[in-house]
Every structure is written in C-alpha cells, then in structure tokens.
Chain A
Amino acid sequence: MPLSVLFHMRKFLSSYYMFAVLIIVWGVFAIISPSFLTVSNMYRVMLFSTPLLIVSLAQNIVILTKGFDLTIGSLVSLITVISSLLMDMKWPLIIIILIVLMIGVLVGTFNGVCISKFGVTPFIVTLGTMFMLDGISLFIRPQPGGDIYPDFINGVMLYVSGIPMGPMLMFVIVAILGTLFLERRCTGRLIYAVGCSEEKSILRGISVGQLLLMVYVLSGLLTAIGGLIYTAYVQVGDPNIGAPLLFASITAVFLGGTSAAGGVGRFPNTCAAVLLLGSITTFLFQIQVIAWYKYIINGVLLVASAAFSKFMIEAKGRL
C-alpha cells in the first residue's frame, strides 16, 4: 500500500514539480520576511499574477508548437493605448471591447498567415510585427495618458466589500480552462502533436498550417484579453508598458518546464511559475530592492529558467 502511494506521489511530483519549487521558495521568503506568508500578501501575489497568467497561456500554446510570440508585449501596450484613446473619445464600452479583441485576432491572423502560409520563421515574423506595433502605439500616444472608465475598472476588479474578487476568480478560471484545453480537448492534443513533430503530424493527416494559424490567432486573442485586464490594472494608456509582460511570460513558460523544442510541458506548471514570478516581485518590493536590480534578476531568471527546463526534460528522460 505505502509503496503505491509513494509511486503516485513520485509520479505527481515529476509531472508537477513546479508546485514543490513554489512551496520551497515561499518557505525561504517567509523566513527572510515574516510578513510575506500572510493572507493579504498572498492575495496581492495572485492579484498581480492574473494578467501575466493569461498572457503566459498564449505564450505557452505558441511555444508548444516550437514557435515564439514576441508580439505579446507590444500588443498589450497597443491595447492599453487604443482602449484609453477610445475611452477618451467616450465610445461605448462594449464596442471598445469588441474592437480591442478584433485587433488581437487581426494581429494573430497576420502572424499566423506569415508563418503558416509563407513558412517564415515565427521568431522573425513576430519580431517584425513587434516593431510595427510599437511604432503604431508610439504614434497614437507618444506619452502615457488617458482616462479609463471607472465602470470598466470596477467590472474587472469586481469589488466585494472593498476587496477585488475579479482577478482571483479570473486566475482560477484561466488556470482550469487552459489546463482542460491543453490536456483534454482534441485541439489541445493536436498542438502537442504538431510541436513534437510537424512531419509526422502531416503524415497523420493533421492540417498543420490551419492549426498553426489557429494557434497564433488564439495567442492574439488571449493577449488582447490580457491587455484589456492589464488596462484596468494600470489605468492609463502607455506605449511601452507591455515589454515586461513579454519577458515575464517567456520566463514563466520556461520555468514551467515547457521545452523550446516543442511538444513538452504542462500548463499547471506554468501557472505555478507565474505565481512564483509574482511572489518574487512582491518579495523584492517588500524587502525594498532598488528598481534597477529587477532588470538583472529578470535576465538571470530567464536564462536560468531555460537551462532549468532543459535540465528537467533531460532528467525525466533518465527516469
């Protein structure tokens, strides 16, 4: 009996090791800063992680197909800029949301067509689109500014007796839906299949081109949703606010053990990695590290996460 329990535990740990890492890191943080492991602080971690989680889901899906989506940061910036612009012009909220989602789909379609129809490397396509989107948002709003509707902010935050419940709810919903989509739905499994081997997928009769197109459209749409929610957080239209989200999303995906070679990785791990990144940010804020050090920590974490993901996959191969 205990042997089988042990076996299951080992299987669970090898699949979802990121949760163990998360708990260890929380423990270390709690020892250094006693106020870290309080309910209100944990709540703050989750609050700040929600936009990142949505964007990371987009990045995760793309990286599973051996791709890269560098447009995520610029698209988020563009969406904060455009929604703040339209809100300055007093457009109805529903139309603004629809327009923003359409922009996301449009950008995703553009990337997807360039990648699946013309066969250009995802990295260079999204790099080109990234520069273009940056240019457009700088053109629309050179300086941060604009007002966001209070109704919209309240709608996203969903205040219940002064505590924003919306982000928490969204975090849970996105985590569950993302996991179900990638692990239980047919399309999700096809994404893994294409990531493992494009040639074999073609031989199996999967229309890889269509799937890739769908992946990038989905990424654009998810990023648009994330950008809308992020707009409610920052409450301003800023042409270069999104870049940190791009770095964080790539870091989270690799920390979650997703391989850059495609086809390997589980979304719950990415969720845990997002929480870990949120915890690190909050912790650094608590112990009052100078803002410049955050660049260094981000860079080192990104490289370390990629090395870590490589290591975990190789370790699993040995098991």
Chain B
Amino acid sequence: MIRKGKRNVKSEEENAFAKIRMEYLVLLGAFIMLMIIGGFFIPNFWTEGYQKELFKRAAIVGTLAIGQTIVMLTGGVDLSIGSLTMGLAVIGAVLFRETPILSECPWWIPTLIIFLIGALTGSVNGLGIALAKIPPIIMTLGMMTTISGITLVYTKGFARGGAHPVIIEFVRVSEIIGIPSVVIMWVIVTLIMWFVLRFTTYGREIYAVGSNPIASHFAGVHVKKIIVIVYTLAGIFAAASSLLYLGRVLAPNLSVAPAGIGLDFLLSSFAVSVLGGTTFRGGEGGVIGTFIAALLYGNIRGILVALGFGTPGILIFTGLIILMVSVIKQMKIKK
C-alpha cells in the first residue's frame, strides 16, 4: 500500500516534469527550425566559424539570463543587471589597463574586484527589497540609473582601457576538444544551477518563495535570506557576463541612452528568460529553458541582422516575443 501511494505521488511529479519537458521540446524544435531558416538566409551559416560565434554570443547573454531567471523564480525582477553588465565591463576595462597599481597585478585581482562589485550591488538590491520592502521593480530601476550615473562619472563619459590578455585568450581563442571553452563554462554553470535549483534545499526554497512567500515563511523558509541570496547571485552572474563581453569586444564603447547604459543586455536577459518558460509570477521555470532560449534568441538576432533589420527591428521583435509568450502562457493557465 505504502509503495503504491508513493508511486502515485511520484507519477504526479513525473507528470509535472513531463509538461516542462514538453516545453523544452517545443523550444528545441523552434531552435532546429531556426537553424534551417538561418541556413537559407545567412550565406556562411553552416561553417564552423559562424556556429562557434553563435554559441559564444549566446554564452554572454545566457550567463546573464541565468541571474535574471533565478530572480524571476522568486517572483521578483532585476532591471539593474543590464547596466551592471555594461558598467562593469567599462569599469573593468579601466581596471585592467588604466589604473596605476592594479594594472600591473596578475589578471585575477581586477577580476575578483569586478565580481565583488557585482555581488555588492546585487546584495544592496536584495537588502533594499527584503528589508526596506521596496518593490523589486522600483529598487532595481533606481539601481539601474544609479549604476549608469556612477559609471559615467567614473569614466567621465568615454570608455578607456581594454580587456586583459588572459581574458581575451579565454573568450576568443581557447578551445577544449574543438568547443570554445566559454561555451563549456556556460554549460557547466547552467548544469550546476540546474542541480542546485532541482535537488538542494536552497533551490527548492527559491521556488517556494516564488510560488507563495507567505506560505513559505510559515513553512520555515527564511524568505529574506533567500531574496538577498538570489539578487546577489544575479549580480555575480552579471559580473561574469561583463567579463565575457569585455573579452569579446576588447574595448567597450559607451553609448548612453537617457534611461541608462546597457539597455540591450537588459532586453536580451528578459527575452531569454521569458522565452525559456520562466514567468513573472514566480515559482515556475528553470535554467535549462533559459539555456535553450539563449541559443534560440541568439539565432533570431543573427537572422534579423542578416536580413538588414538594425536595432529597431530587434527591439520590436523582442517586445513581440515577450508579449506573445506571456499571453500564450496566461491563456494556457486560464484553460
């Protein structure tokens, strides 16, 4: 009897995961379809070089989007990671090349500083949201403009410096059995996060806080601690992503929109997380979806650029993706 009951519970859980696997299958199908379409529109699509570039580009956005996904799992939202990524890339370029003492240090000291700044910014977000009970949108929106301002004041409005040779080597050249090591790192990080979210207490508590913060509080989850951890992680992932970006572009150029810097990263991280099946309500989604969606989104952008749509096309298309995915999801829930 006991065994039977257990099996029933398990089969229900299996059902839930089968549903999620269906979503991943749909995403993978879309990805394969886009690969075929891409082959038609982009002349050297099926060359090794293009595919490597595609995966490397996806790795930058994918790493960033892991942070956004985790935050969204708790029912929050982080608007500051875009400007944090751009700001850290710009500040990192100065730290690596233009700062008197630091630039002579080994490469990992400025890198560590960048990670520390990322974690610190994230934890400030988390503390503001958890302790001062400021709505996540407001807290991170304020942080976004603040980071933009600090970056602009620090660099006096124009970017200087560049990436460290070690990072350039890692991002642009190094390969392990023919696969760029950036991509391998991205896969490993995604798998670790998947494991943490699926099998550890902290991971399950993140989902619990997202589905019902009050209930999880009464169930003994330390909600405030989880929220601070999650936003700090988002900051750390933004720092990692900024290093990858820095290594890729060598020297970042600082284009300033009135809303702040790094809006493109914010846009991509949202699109990827939403496309990957994570919802704004919290407690639903995961990093595997984000992984596939990052590849999908990178592919879409490549095709759009190849077709001659510039920034406007990408903006319109991304907005459409976000809207459509969330409307479809919502309609499914209603059914």
Contact = CB atoms under 8 A, between A and B. Distances in A.
A130 B149 contact: no
A103 interface: no
Interface stretch (B40-48, B140-148, B194-202): B140-148
A101 interface: no
B315 A131 contact: yes
A307 B334 CA distance: 35
A135 B274 contact: no
B311 interface: yes
B137 A68 contact: yes
Contacts of B141: 247, 250, 299, 302
Given A124-B322, A303-B138, A310-B132, A295 B152 contact: yes
Nearest to A246: B259
Interface string B316-331: 1111111100110011
Contacts of B49: none
Interface string B241-260: 00000000000000001111
Contacts of B270: 127
Contacts of B142: 298-303, 306
Contact of B135 (A118, A132, A246, A260): A260
Contact of A243 (B146, B259, B319, B334): B259
Interface of B: 77, 128, 132-135, 137-139, 141-150, 152-153, 156-157, 257-260, 267, 270, 274, 280-281, 311-323, 326-327, 330-331, 334
Contacts of A241: 258
Interface stretch (A41-49, A152-160, A205-213, A286-294): A286-294
Contacts of B146: 295-296, 299-300, 303
9 interchain residue pairs of minimum CB distance? A295-B149, A135-B315, A299-B146, A131-B319, A296-B149, A132-B319, A135-B316, A303-B142, A139-B312
Interface string A115-133: 0001111011101111111
A254 interface: yes
B311 A135 contact: yes
A84 interface: no
Contact of B128 (A133, A290, A294, A303): A303
A138 B322 contact: no
Contacts of A260: 135, 138
A227 interface: no
A257 to B, nearest CB: 14
Contacts of A302: 138, 141-142, 145
A222 to B, nearest CB: 21
A150 to B, nearest CB: 26
A247 B142 CA distance: 9
Interface in A34-52: none
A227 B260 CA distance: 21
26 contacts: A118-B330, A120-B330, A124-B280, A124-B326, A128-B319, A128-B322, A135-B317, A135-B319, A139-B313, A243-B258, A243-B259, A247-B259, A292-B152, A293-B153, A294-B149, A295-B146, A295-B149, A295-B260, A296-B145, A298-B149, A299-B146, A299-B149, A303-B139, A303-B142, A306-B138, A310-B134
Interface of B is mostly: helix
Nearest to B259: A243
Contacts of A114: 323, 327
Contacts of B281: 121
A138 B315 contact: yes
Contacts of A290: 153
Contacts of A27: none
Interface residues of A, number: 49
A240 B259 CA distance: 8
A310 B144 CA distance: 21
A130 B274 contact: no
A99 interface: no
Given A125-B323, A250-B138, A295-B148, 16 more contacts: A120-B330, A121-B280, A121-B326, A124-B274, A131-B318, A131-B322, A132-B315, A135-B311, A135-B312, A135-B317, A254-B138, A294-B149, A296-B150, A301-B142, A303-B139, A306-B134
B259 A307 contact: no
A307 B134 contact: yes
A136 interface: yes
A183 B321 CA distance: 39
B258 A240 contact: yes
Nearest to B270: A127
A278 interface: no
Contacts of B157: 292
Contact of B326 (A68, A120, A132, A295): A120
A72 to B, nearest CB: 12
B320 A132 contact: yes
A198 to B, nearest CB: 15
Given A73-B259, A260-B135, A118 B149 contact: no
A292 B261 CA distance: 12
Contacts of A130: 319
B257 A240 contact: yes
Contacts of B274: 124
Given A131-B315, A299-B149, A306 B320 contact: no
Contacts of B316: 131-132, 135-136, 139
Given A128-B326, A292-B153, A303-B139, A123 B77 contact: yes
A136 B312 CA distance: 6
Nearest to A297: B149
Contacts of B319: 127-135
Contacts of B147: 299
